[in-house]
């Protein structure tokens, strides 16, 4: 015989379908987050692994001053070495054809004459590799090529030994070393506008570089776990050739950024599903508690007829499971789309050689299971309550209600009625409010993340980097050159800049970064204090760190550190022991700051620079003159880099577009959850009140007045919920921010007034939307029938 | 004479109300033979429902002994009571307690699925005069019809005892008579016992036996020599 308890279940689900759907949506959003984020994460991880493996990404890279190519042969015989390549890597000025940005920094990387290199192979996206032809040819790394719109057949002009040499572009490639095309570890961000990688045949340029038969870098693929040992050994063995510290994958800039992308997933992939599924569980529990309450008589009858408590428990658990299954279905579908979207946004952002997109059904199953578990757990409380009901009690009807506090407060009826209703069931009211609060948390969270991102960019672009134009020299400029620039039309202010790459040693940890000399009273580069926001200046013998770097190195103010120039040689070397000062609030990048004089005297002079040596200049330019000043700099031979602050801003915005998309989606999900939760709450209140409200109608209350009564009650709950969610929202935002902090991008939490307003107002506004279907039902109610109904 | 269907000895039931204990039943001794139509009569609050619930295994005694069909109820665990209710008792309540999302027939089937050898739900519904209404939902039925569905639900599992607590309390007289007629006919046809609780003196006239309660005590048990038919009742 058909199980009629199952029939009842199905009919109950059908009768309360919109509530179930609303809960399913909340749970489904949680599952979607879980599935989508983990799918994105897994696909990314696999994409890295596959790209690295297929293209033989180097396990370790060792720079050399100059070594005969024969060492490649010798290294290949070392135990643990699988593949080895020797090559030339040089950074130099590159001129571009008219119509493109005049001059950029190019990194020439040599390829063997006839074949792919043994390590760090290239994936040809368009055209072909520059091998097997007598002409001077180059392949371009794809992000640079895309930014400057290169196609095969175009020409590009590196300056080799001061000579502009034409190369024909044969193809666009992606390289495992430049998935993020980062110039150096000091500047941990891709700068395709000003930096590009050119792959060229070594036999066509080694003599032009005066390096015939030589290499200045070896790259290796090693047996697993051998990279450190082999790298160290090569450094030792070839120190006569000027071998530098080996760089393993863990330090490789592109890989470093990719890994931090991966790390960025985990907090969201845990937090978001937890928040949504927790809310779904709460919603199940609230809705089901009302159902059980409304079905007391039925439960009593079932128990009296001989249904055991376990049957009742199972029956109500199944209702929760039904919502959970709905959530699982919604979530798996939505999550799949979300996962695809993540992969696509990511693929658009980067040029992953092999972008793998797999559905990962095991994650879908796990997500589905989570939804069942969450909703099942939510149902457990009411289900157990139902199962534990004594049948005699259950059929006695009325539930005892606690005495009303509000009854004694003199209030106008329109306020007193809703308030009393809320106070009559304080726990339930609180539960509903907590559900609304969860959406508030999400709105505050996403809103403040976007606020913080904006504020960080503002801080960085308007306070830290306060210049209009940044100029970098390719060779030490003549003394007094800045006075010369100052007289150019439109130039309002010129400040000197000296930047040197350094390695910091502290407590056995080492970190490479760039040390920037700061002009006292500088107006174009400011160092806001993390604590006060006021501009600071490093005292002599002191270095200022960003708070992110201080945390990473476990530094406190006043620590003594050894800071050495990274390219120290026997002839020229510079290092000093310096003290750390107060942290600087700088959201982007992790340079360290020292007084300009200090840097010039302690480092510049020992390295052979003049006493007032500089590497660049910062300029304030009248807006109308920016283009012409920029062009003038670009035409100079001694200038390697010209960048306006707008160009910098554009670069950073491009870099953060991914995070914005993420947050935007989270916010959308948050709003959907707020709507769903308020709907379940308001609608089940309306079901419960059907008789009461119908009675009010028979007494002559119009629908308008009833709507106000209901809305007031719901708005009070919503407002309470918003208030409850506010503080946890800020804490969760702080937590997520701390967890997703990377060294290159360290934000300070900012919550704007708009965000507060949105988080507080949204639930209240949503209440009006949410209660609309219920009110419509009541306005169409057959009054006589409604009053006659006893059960339900 | 056979062993009585129900036997009570020195039964006390006390309810805790905060710190005080309220006795709802005081020292009840009672025997009810099988197959009779018995009315428990008494004013509101006299302990009728309490007594019925104890016989039905919905409630337990504070003191004393209850045997139904030879089974000692006091010694039973909740699980055993559930089985007892399932196998022995059919309940009918004042407020019908139908499952509103199930049709009349489905409501009956719901209970039938519990029984080892249930009667055919459609046939039981016909026997209570609801032929043709099998597929109606409770909301589309009158109170009397709903109560007859409830009775069919109690009868379908062939109980030894039907317990009906104020089954006509919510019905007008004509409807009440129909319901009482259904209960009486079923009792005669199947030979099960019926314990019917009411505060309505008049209904007692159709009983085989009347048990009077007052303030939780037994105020008298009388056998009715010539029970009237339900149609002769009036109030
Ligand atoms: N669960 C309970 N808790 C406390 N008192 C109860 C409970 N059930 C019944 N009573 C009390 O026991 C007495 C008998 O109740 P009941 O058996 O329902 O009477 P009747 O059915 O004759 O109207 C009443 O005084 C009632 O208030
Ligand atoms: Mg009673």
Contact A169, A176 (CB under 8 A): no
For the ranges A103-107, A387-391, A674-678, A788-792, the lowest mean pLDDT is seen at: A788-792
- Contact residues on chain A for B112, CB-CB shorter than 8 A: 1
Does the pLDDT value for residue B41 go beyond 50?
yes
For residues A333 and A350, state if they share a domain: yes
One DSSP character per residue, A679-730 reads HHHHHHHHHHHHHHHHHHHHTT--HHHHHHHHHHHHHHHHHHHHHHHHHHHH
Answer yes or no: is A649 within a domain: no
For residues A199 and A269, state if they share a domain: no
Q: What does the mean pLDDT of chain B come to?
A: 92
Q: Which two tokens stand for residue A206?
A: 């080694």
- Contact residues on chain A for B102, CB-CB shorter than 8 A: 4, 7-8, 11
Identify which of B99, B93, B106 has the alpha carbon closest to the alpha carbon of residue B52. B93
Compute the distance between CA of residue B233 and CA of residue B176 in angstroms, rounded to an integer.
Answer: 10
At A786, the pLDDT band (50, 70, 90 cuts) reads low
With CB atoms and an 8 Å threshold, state whether B95 touches A395.
yes
- Contact residues on chain B for A791, CB-CB shorter than 8 A: 95, 97-98, 100
For residues A295 and A443, state if they share a domain: no
Q: Nearest C-alpha of chain A: how many angstroms from B229?
A: 29
**Using H for helix, E for strand and C for coil, what is the string for A234-276?**
HHHHCHHHCCCCCEEHHHCHHHHHHHHHHHHHHHHHHHHHHHH
Compute the distance between CA of residue A498 and CA of residue A618 in angstroms, rounded to an integer.
Answer: 10
For residues A488 and A608, state if they share a domain: yes
Supply φ then ψ for residue B133, to 5 degrees: -105, 10
Indicate the number of domains in chain A: 5
Compute the distance between CA of residue A578 and CA of residue A561 in angstroms, rounded to an integer.
Answer: 5
For residues A664 and A711, state if they share a domain: yes
Identify which of A771, A761, A677, A672 has the alpha carbon closest to the alpha carbon of residue A719. A761
pLDDT single digits (tens) A503-535: 898 888 888 888 999 999 899 998 989 888 889
Q: Report residues whose beta carbon is within 6 angstroms of any ligand 1 atom.
A: B 15, 17, 22, 24, 42, 44-50
SS3 A129: coil
Answer yes or no: is A650 within a domain: no
Residue of A nearest to B156 (CA): A305
Compute the distance between CA of residue A475 and CA of residue A608 in angstroms, rounded to an integer.
Answer: 13
Q: Tell the residue number behind the tokens 């009570």, with chain if given.
A: B8
Tell me the CA–centroid distance for residue A301 and ligand 2, in Å: 16
C-alpha triplet A337, A343, A347: angle, nearest 5° = 140
Answer yes or no: is A16 within a domain: yes
Answer yes or no: is B90 within a domain: yes
Answer yes or no: is A468 within a domain: no
For residues A667 and A779, state if they share a domain: yes
For the ranges A524-528, A623-627, A653-657, the lowest mean pLDDT is seen at: A653-657
| Chain A with chain B: Cβ pairs closer than 8 A | 84
Q: Supply the pLDDT for residue A400.
A: 45
- How do strand B6-17 and strand B20-32 relate by DSSP bridges? antiparallel
Q: Tell the residue number behind the tokens 């097997």, with chain if given.
A: A132
pLDDT single digits (tens) A751-780: 999 999 988 888 888 888 888 888 888 788
The residues that bridge with A104 in the sheet, in sequence order, are: A94
Q: Which residues contact A599 (CB under 8 A, 6 or more apart)?
A: A498, A500, A515, A516, A517
Identify the DSSP state of A557.
T
Convert A251-266 to b/e letters by CB count within 10 Å (16 or more is b).
ebbbbbbbbbbeebbe
Mean pLDDT on A551-570: 87
Q: Which residues contact A646 (CB under 8 A, 6 or more apart)?
A: none
pLDDT single digits (tens) A333-354: 999 999 998 888 888 777 789 9
Q: Supply the pLDDT for residue A404.
A: 47
Contact A525, A465 (CB under 8 A): yes
For the ranges A166-180, A307-321, A348-362, the lowest mean pLDDT is seen at: A348-362
- Residue B50 CA: nearest ligand 1 atom is 17
Does the pLDDT value for residue A29 go beyond 60?
yes
One DSSP character per residue, A315-334 reads HHHHHHHHHHHHHHHHHHHH
With CB atoms and an 8 Å threshold, state whether B113 touches A300.
no
- Residue B199 CA: nearest ligand 1 atom is 22
Contact B138, B107 (CB under 8 A): yes
Collect all residues from A whose CB is shorter than 8 A from any CB in B. 1-5, 7-8, 11-12, 14-15, 297-298, 300-309, 390-392, 395, 397, 785, 789-792
For residues A38 and A78, state if they share a domain: no
Indicate the number of domains in chain B: 1
Identify the DSSP state of A57.
-
For residues A142 and A102, state if they share a domain: yes
Residue of B nearest to A391 (CA): B58
Q: Supply the pLDDT for residue A95.
A: 87
Compute the distance between CA of residue A109 and CA of residue A138 in angstroms, rounded to an integer.
Answer: 10
Does the pLDDT value for residue B164 go beyond 90?
yes
pLDDT single digits (tens) A385-442: 999 998 888 776 554 444 444 455 667 777 777 888 788 888 888 888 888 888 889 8
Q: Tell the residue number behind the tokens 């550190």, with chain if given.
A: A561
Supply φ then ψ for residue B155, to 5 degrees: -80, -25
Task: Report yes or no: B184 at the A interface, CB cutoff 8 Å.
Answer: no
Does the pLDDT value for residue A791 go beyond 60?
no
Q: Which two tokens stand for residue A263?
A: 């790390």
Answer yes or no: is A576 within a domain: yes
With CB atoms and an 8 Å threshold, state whether A1 touches B111.
no
With CB atoms and an 8 Å threshold, state whether A392 touches B95.
no
- Contact residues on chain A for B109, CB-CB shorter than 8 A: 1-2, 4
At B2, the pLDDT band (50, 70, 90 cuts) reads low
At A784, the pLDDT band (50, 70, 90 cuts) reads low
For residues A621 and A488, state if they share a domain: yes
With CB atoms and an 8 Å threshold, state whether B95 touches A297.
yes
Mean pLDDT on A90-101: 85
For residues A233 and A291, state if they share a domain: no
With CB atoms and an 8 Å threshold, state whether B109 touches A1.
yes
Q: What does the mean pLDDT of chain A come to?
A: 88
pLDDT single digits (tens) A215-265: 999 999 999 999 999 999 999 999 999 998 899 999 899 999 899 888 888
Mean pLDDT on A450-469: 88
Contact A736, A668 (CB under 8 A): no
Q: Tell the residue number behind the tokens 């157990």, with chain if given.
A: A384
Answer yes or no: is A611 within a domain: yes
Q: Supply the pLDDT for residue A785.
A: 61
SS3 B150: helix
The residue that leads in pLDDT, A63 or A647, is A63
Does the pLDDT value for residue A500 go beyond 60?
yes
pLDDT single digits (tens) A582-592: 999 888 888 89
With CB atoms and an 8 Å threshold, state whether B114 touches A305.
yes
Does the pLDDT value for residue B43 go beyond 70?
yes
Q: Nearest C-alpha of chain A: how many angstroms from B114?
A: 7
One DSSP character per residue, A136-205 reads -EEEEEHHHHHHTT--TT-EEEEEETTEE--EEEEEEEE-GGGSS-EEETTEEEE-TTTEEEEEEEHHHH
- Percent of chain B at pLDDT > 70 equals 99
Identify which of A694, A695, A672, A676 has the alpha carbon closest to the alpha carbon of residue A684. A676
Contact A135, A122 (CB under 8 A): no
Answer yes or no: is A319 within a domain: yes
Q: Nearest C-alpha of chain A: how many angstroms from B87?
A: 8
Answer yes or no: is B144 within a domain: yes
- Contact residues on chain A for B106, CB-CB shorter than 8 A: 4, 7
With CB atoms and an 8 Å threshold, state whether A309 touches B78.
yes
State the pTM of this model.
0.83
Q: Supply the pLDDT for residue A401.
A: 46
Tell me the CA–centroid distance for residue B24 and ligand 1, in Å: 6
Q: Supply the pLDDT for residue A627.
A: 92
Mean pLDDT on A127-145: 91
Contact B153, B145 (CB under 8 A): no
Contact A71, A241 (CB under 8 A): yes
Does the pLDDT value for residue A564 go beyond 60?
yes
Residue of A nearest to B98 (CA): A298
With CB atoms and an 8 Å threshold, state whether A395 touches B100.
no
Contact B137, B100 (CB under 8 A): yes
CATH number at residue B212: 3.40.50.300
Q: Residue B211 belongs to what domain range?
A: 34-60+77-225
With CB atoms and an 8 Å threshold, state whether A301 touches B93.
yes
Tell me the CA–centroid distance for residue B7 and ligand 2, in Å: 21
Q: Residue A746 belongs to what domain range?
A: 402-463+655-792
Contact B79, A377 (CB under 8 A): no
Answer yes or no: is A190 within a domain: yes
Mean pLDDT on A165-169: 95
- Percent of chain A at pLDDT > 90 equals 52
Rounded to 10°, the helix A645-698/A309-349 angle is 150
For residues A306 and A219, state if they share a domain: no
Compute the distance between CA of residue A206 and CA of residue A720 in angstroms, rounded to an integer.
Answer: 73
Give the mutation candidate from A3, A13, A304 for the B interface (greatest B CB count, under 10 A): A304
SS3 B58: coil
- Contact residues on chain A for B79, CB-CB shorter than 8 A: 308
pLDDT single digits (tens) A712-750: 888 888 889 989 999 999 999 998 888 877 766 778 889
**Best mutation site among B21, B26, B45 for ligand 1 pocket (most ligand atoms within 8 Å of CB):** B45
Does the pLDDT value for residue A312 go beyond 90?
yes
**From its phi and psi, is residue A646 left (phi > 0), alpha (psi between -120 and 50) or beta?**
alpha
Contact A364, A332 (CB under 8 A): yes
Q: Whose CA is nearest to atom 24 of ligand 1?
A: B45
Contact B149, B130 (CB under 8 A): yes
Supply φ then ψ for residue A372, to 5 degrees: -60, -45
For residues A740 and A780, state if they share a domain: yes
Q: Supply the pLDDT for residue A409.
A: 61
The H helix count followed by the E strand count for chain B is 6, 10
Does the pLDDT value for residue A98 go beyond 90?
no
Q: Nearest C-alpha of chain B: how many angstroms from A349?
A: 54
Answer yes or no: is B193 within a domain: yes
Does the pLDDT value for residue A788 go beyond 60?
no
- Contact residues on chain A for B85, CB-CB shorter than 8 A: 304-306
Does the pLDDT value for residue A467 go beyond 60?
yes
Q: Supply the pLDDT for residue A761.
A: 86
At A792, the pLDDT band (50, 70, 90 cuts) reads very low
One DSSP character per residue, A558-574 reads T-EEEEEETT--SSS--
């Amino acid at each position: 015989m058909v199980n009629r308890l199952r029939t009842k279940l199905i009919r109950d689900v059908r009768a309360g379908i919109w509530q179930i759907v609303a809960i399913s949506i909340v749970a489904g959003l949680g599952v979607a987050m879980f599935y989508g984020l983990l799918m994105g994460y897994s696909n990314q991880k696999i994409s890295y692994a596959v790209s690295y493996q297929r293209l033989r990404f180097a396990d370790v890279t060792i720079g050399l001053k100059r070594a005969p190519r024969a060492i490649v042969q010798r290294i290949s015989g070392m135990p643990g070495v699988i593949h080895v390549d020797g090559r030339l890597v040089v950074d130099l000025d590159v001129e571009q054809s008219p119509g493109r940005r005049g001059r950029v920094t190019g990194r020439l990387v040599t390829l063997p004459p006839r074949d792919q290199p043994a390590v760090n192979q290239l994936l040809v996206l368009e055209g072909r590799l520059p091998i097997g032809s007598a002409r001077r040819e180059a392949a371009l790394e794809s992000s640079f090529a895309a930014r400057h719109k290169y196609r095969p057949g175009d020409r590009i002009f590196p300056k080799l030994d001061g000579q502009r040499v034409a190369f024909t572009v044969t193809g666009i490639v992606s390289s495992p070393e430049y998935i993020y095309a980062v110039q150096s570890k000091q500047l941990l961000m891709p700068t395709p506008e000003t930096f590009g990688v050119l792959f060229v045949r070594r036999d066509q340029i080694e003599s032009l570089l005066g390096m015939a038969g030589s290499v200045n870098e070896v790259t290796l693929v090693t047996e697993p776990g051998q990279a450190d040992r082999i790298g160290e050994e090569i450094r030792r063995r070839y120190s006569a050739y000027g071998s530098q510290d080996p760089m393993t994958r863990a330090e490789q800039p592109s890989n470093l950024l990719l890994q931090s992308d991966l790390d960025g997933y985990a907090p969201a992939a845990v937090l978001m599903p937890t928040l949504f599924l927790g809310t779904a569980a709460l919603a199940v529990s609230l809705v089901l508690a009302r159902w059980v309450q409304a079905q007391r008589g039925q439960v009593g009858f079932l128990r009296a007829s001989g249904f055991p408590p376990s049957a009742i428990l199972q029956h109500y658990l199944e209702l929760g499971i039904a919502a959970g299954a709905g959530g699982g279905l919604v979530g798996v579908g939505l999550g799949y789309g979300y996962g695809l979207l993540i992969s696509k946004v990511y693929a658009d952002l980067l040029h992953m050689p092999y972008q793998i997109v797999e559905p990962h059904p095991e994650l879908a199953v796990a997500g589905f299971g989570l939804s069942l578990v969450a909703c099942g757990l939510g149902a457990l409380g009411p289900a157990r309550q139902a199962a534990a009901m004594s049948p005699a009690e259950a059929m006695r009807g009325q539930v005892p209600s606690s005495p009303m506090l509000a009854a004694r407060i003199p209030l106008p009826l329109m306020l007193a009625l809703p308030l009393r209703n809320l106070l009559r069931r304080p726990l339930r009211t609180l539960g509903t409010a907590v559900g609304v609060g969860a959406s508030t948390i999400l709105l505050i969270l996403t809103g403040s993340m976007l606020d913080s991102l904006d504020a960080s960019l503002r801080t960085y672009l308007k306070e830290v980097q306060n210049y209009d134009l940044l100029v970098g020299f390719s060779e030490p400029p003549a003394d007094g050159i800045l006075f010369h620039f100052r007289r150019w039309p439109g130039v309002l202010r010129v400040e000197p800049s000296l930047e040197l790459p350094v390695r910091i040693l502290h407590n056995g940890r080492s970190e490479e970064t760039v040390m920037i000399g700061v002009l006292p009273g500088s107006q174009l580069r400011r160092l806001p204090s993390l604590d006060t926001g006021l501009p600071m200046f490093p005292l002599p013998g002191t270095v200022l760190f960003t708070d992110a770097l201080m945390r990473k190195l476990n530094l406190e103010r006043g620590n003594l550190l050894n800071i050495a120039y990274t390219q120290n040689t026997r002839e020229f070397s510079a290092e000093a022991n310096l003290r750390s000062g107060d942290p600087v609030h700088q959201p982007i990048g992790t340079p360290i700051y020292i007084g300009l004089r200090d840097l010039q005297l302690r480092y510049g002079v020992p390295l052979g620079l003049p006493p007032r040596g500089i590497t660049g200049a910062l300029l304030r330019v009248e807006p109308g003159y920016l283009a012409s000043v920029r062009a003038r700099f670009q035409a100079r031979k001694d200038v390697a880099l010209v960048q306006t602050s707008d160009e910098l801003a554009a670069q950073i915005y491009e870099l953060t577009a991914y995070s914005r998309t993420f947050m935007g989606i989270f916010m959308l999900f948050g709003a959907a959850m707020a709507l769903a939760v308020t709907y379940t709450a308001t609608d089940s209140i309306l079901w419960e009140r059907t008789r009461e409200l119908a009675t009010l109608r028979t007494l002559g209350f119009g629908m308008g007045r009833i709507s106000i009564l209901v809305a007031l009650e719901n708005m009070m709950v919503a407002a309470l919920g918003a208030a409850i969610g506010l503080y946890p929202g800020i804490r969760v935002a702080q937590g997520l921010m701390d967890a997703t902090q990377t060294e290159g991008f360290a934000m300070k939490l900012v919550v704007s007034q708009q965000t507060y307003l949105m988080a507080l107002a949204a639930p209240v506004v949503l209440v009006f939307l949410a209660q609309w279907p219920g009110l419509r039902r009541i306005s169409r109610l057959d009054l006589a029938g409604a009053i006659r109904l006893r059960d339900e | 004479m056979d062993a009585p269907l129900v036997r009570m000895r020195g039964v006390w039931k006390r309810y805790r109300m905060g710190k005080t204990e309220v006795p709802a039943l005081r020292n009840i001794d009672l025997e009810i033979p099988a197959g009779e139509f018995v009315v428990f009569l008494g004013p509101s609050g006299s302990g009728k429902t309490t007594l019925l619930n104890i016989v039905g295994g919905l409630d337990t005694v504070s003191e004393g002994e209850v045997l139904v069909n030879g089974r000692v109820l006091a010694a039973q665990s909740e699980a055993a009571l559930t089985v007892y209710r399932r196998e022995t008792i059919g309940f009918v309540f004042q407020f019908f307690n139908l499952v509103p999302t199930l049709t009349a027939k489905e409501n009956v089937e719901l209970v039938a699925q519990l029984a080892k050898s249930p009667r055919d739900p459609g046939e039981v519904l016909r026997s209570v005069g609801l032929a043709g209404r099998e597929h109606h939902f409770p909301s589309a039925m009158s109170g009397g019809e709903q109560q007859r569905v409830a009775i069919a639900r109690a009868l379908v599992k062939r109980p030894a005892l039907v317990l009906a607590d104020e089954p006509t309390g919510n019905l007008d007289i004509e409807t009440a008579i129909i319901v009482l007629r259904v209960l009486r006919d079923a009792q005669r046809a199947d030979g099960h016992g019926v314990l019917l609780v009411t505060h309505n003196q008049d209904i007692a006239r159709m009983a085989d036996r009347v048990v009077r309660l007052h303030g939780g005590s037994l105020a008298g048990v009388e056998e009715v020599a010539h029970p009237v038919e339900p149609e002769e009742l009036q109030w």
